[in-house]
């Protein structure tokens, strides 16, 4: 594990108020009592079960006898993870996110996944599981195949605590007593439409998803044992099954977690340990539905412990029960679905186009920089995938998605007007379209033969450019170890 990650986890242990048996705990670090928002006082540390060691000073670490994973010049320093704050709570606690990847902080043509814990302050098990997960992945990279697969093929982001204020007070809401999982814009009712009235924790999540295109996500809760999927509510507020356009994909996604869990799938209350939110516990203004509608992100709500605030001694067994579920859910982004990039046939540049699947009313947007897209789909089915981009001709192809991922790149041709000029698209800069149109009109009216010769020459050049683009595209592979990339 890297030095930086140890520092982050020690922050969660010694600075941010920890879970206790009798309420918010007493800060052990003499400087932590002055940290913004600290209000707790108790005597029992929940996260002390992790036994996170103290760090050696950096200036002496190269010569002291500390362990390899704490060494200042460790192999994993600056390699596996990156910690950032996406905002602050009402009382000023930073919302720290740990990114785990072989190239943290860099944009790659890989899917991104996020786990968020402690949305409700009195449901702290998820917070603890994510801290342990960060430890486990860094400790087992290049040792465990699943850990290696995740680190090298997915950008994993962990937010152990979305609600540190509520956690320190041991209550459901934040410092303003607002339920953060009712504070997002809702698709059915005009609640939370006023941006100024949203809580800072909510705004932090929404701004975070503007910066990063997450493919998958899950929030960890307590009080039940089930994997919940959209929709969380219905248009008439009735308790009934109300599925979203990607209902099959979400049921498959929820089943991955449930069937990887020690006993979730054997639930007597929920068939196979999964449930549609509206059919079980309707809510409005939730984060799960907002992710799918506004951020292009497939999010589950995971209830990982029947007991909201269990004894600290139960953490090892809770980790044992949930470990494979947490890992397999992230790995599913690399093990299924269709992934690829969208290019221009003219010069091979990436295009921020859109990808849809025929019969499913949902659109995934490709990245602006790399033109990469990642579409989660249930396996063992046939899909028609369509790529579009303003100013370009759309393309479609049919794929069969079995038990592995499909890598599919699209090379789009520019739209051409009746007069033969390439139509300008909104992605391009000002390319002098007016002067180009006047030039074409001049050739069309007075020099038709010259115009014909130029068309032949341009057609030949376009052929060469397309060959060059295809050579460039063919070298791109979406996922390490995936099938050969298909190009259309």
Task: DSSP letter for 487, please.
Answer: E
Residue 98 pLDDT grade (very low, low, confident, very high; cuts 50, 70, 90): very high
Residue 301 has pLDDT above 80, yes or no: yes
pLDDT at site 429: 40
Whole-prediction pTM: 0.78
The whole-chain average pLDDT of the chain stands at 80
- Kindly write down the DSSP assignment for every residue of 218-234, as one continuous string: EEEE-SEEEEEES-SS-
- Residue pair 132/117 in contact by the 8 Å Cβ criterion: no
- Residue pair 239/282 in contact by the 8 Å Cβ criterion: yes
pLDDT at site 77: 41
**Predicted confidence (pLDDT) per residue in 403-412, tens digit:** 899 999 999 9
Residue 63 pLDDT grade (very low, low, confident, very high; cuts 50, 70, 90): very low
Query: 433 or 20: which carries more pLDDT confidence?
Result: 433
Identify the residue whose tokens are 């800069």: 429
Residue 481 has pLDDT above 70, yes or no: no
pLDDT at site 419: 57
Q: Is residue 161 packed enough to be buried (19+ CB in 10 Å), middle (13-18) or exposed (0-12)?
A: buried
List, edge to edge, every strand of the sheet that includes 216-221.
81-88, 94-100, 155-159, 112-117, 216-221, 298-305, 224-229, 274-276
Residue 451 has pLDDT above 90, yes or no: no
pLDDT at site 445: 53
The pair of three-digit structure tokens given for residue 256, joined into one six-digit string:
């991955």
Mean predicted confidence (pLDDT) in 286-315: 96
The pair of three-digit structure tokens given for residue 49, joined into one six-digit string:
């079960």
Task: List the one residue out of 230, 210, 206, 235 whose CA is nearest residue 218.
Answer: 230
pLDDT at site 418: 52
Length of the chain in terms of residues written: 488
Domains in the chain: ranges and CATH: 3-335 (3.40.630.10), 337-488 (2.60.40.1120)
**Predicted confidence (pLDDT) per residue in 364-420, tens digit:** 999 999 999 999 999 988 999 999 999 999 999 999 999 899 999 999 999 975 555
**Predicted confidence (pLDDT) per residue in 314-359, tens digit:** 999 999 999 999 999 999 999 999 999 999 999 999 999 999 999 9
Task: List the one residue out of 13, 32, 42 whose CA is nearest residue 127.
Answer: 13
Integer-rounded Cα Rg, in Å, for the chain is 26
Which residues belong to the active site? 303
Query: Residues near 421 by Cβ (< 8 Å), separated by ≥ 6?
Result: 436, 437, 440
Please give the Cα distance from 413 to 339 (Å, whole number).
20
């Amino acid at each position: 594990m890297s030095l930086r990650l140890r520092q982050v986890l020690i922050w969660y242990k010694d600075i941010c108020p920890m879970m206790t048996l009798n309420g918010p705990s007493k800060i052990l670090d003499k400087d932590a009592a002055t940290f913004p928002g600290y209000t707790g006082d108790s005597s029992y540390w929940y996260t002390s079960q992790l036994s996170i060691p103290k760090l050696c000073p950096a200036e002496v670490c190269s010569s002291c006898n500390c362990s390899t994973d704490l060494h200042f010049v460790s192999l994993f320093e600056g390699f596996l993870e990156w910690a950032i704050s996406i905002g602050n709570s009402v009382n000023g606690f930073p919302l720290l996110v740990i990114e785990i990847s072989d190239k943290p902080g860099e944009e790659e043509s890989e899917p991104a996944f996020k786990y968020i814990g402690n949305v409700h302050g009195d449901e702290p098990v998820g917070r603890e599981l994510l801290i342990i997960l960060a430890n486990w992945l860094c400790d087992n990279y290049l040792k465990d195949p699943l850990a290696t697969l995740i680190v090298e093929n997915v950008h994993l982001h962990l937010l152990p605590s979305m609600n540190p204020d509520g956690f320190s007070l041991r209550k459901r809401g934040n410092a303003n007593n607002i339920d953060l999982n009712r504070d997002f814009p809702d698709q059915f009712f005009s609640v939370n439409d006023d941006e100024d009235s949203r809580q800072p924790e909510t705004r932090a999540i929404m701004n975070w998803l503007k910066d990063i295109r997450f493919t998958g996500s899950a929030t960890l809760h307590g009080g039940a044992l089930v994997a919940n999927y959209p929709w969380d509510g219905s248009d008439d507020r009735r308790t009934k099954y109300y599925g979203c356009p990607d209902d099959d994909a979400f049921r498959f996604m929820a089943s991955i977690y449930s069937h990887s869990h020690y006993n979730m799938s054997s639930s007597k209350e929920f068939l196979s340990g999964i449930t549609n939110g509206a059919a079980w516990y309707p809510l409005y203004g939730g984060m799960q539905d907002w992710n799918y509608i506004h951020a292009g992100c497939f999010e589950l709500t995971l209830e990982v412990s029947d007991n909201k605030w269990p004894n600290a001694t139960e953490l090892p067994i809770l980790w044992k029960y949930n470990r494979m579920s947490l890992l397999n859910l992230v790995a599913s982004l690399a093990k299924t679905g269709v992934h690829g990039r969208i290019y221009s046939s003219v010069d091979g540049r990436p295009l921020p186009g859109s990808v849809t699947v025929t019969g499913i009313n949902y659109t995934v947007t490709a990245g602006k920089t790399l033109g990469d897209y990642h579409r989660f789909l249930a396996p063992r089915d046939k899909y028609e995938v369509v790529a579009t981009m303003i100013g370009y001709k759309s393309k479609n192809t049919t794929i069969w998605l079995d038990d592995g991922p499909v890598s599919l790149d699209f090379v789009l041709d520019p739209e051409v007007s009746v007069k033969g000029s390439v139509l300008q698209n909104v992605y391009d800069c000002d390319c002098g379209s007016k002067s180009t149109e006047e030039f074409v009109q001049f050739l069309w009216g007075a020099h038709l033969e010259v115009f014909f010769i130029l068309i032949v020459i341009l057609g030949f050049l376009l052929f060469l450019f397309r060959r060059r683009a295809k050579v460039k595209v063919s070298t791109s592979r979406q996922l390490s170890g995936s099938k050969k990339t298909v190009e259309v």
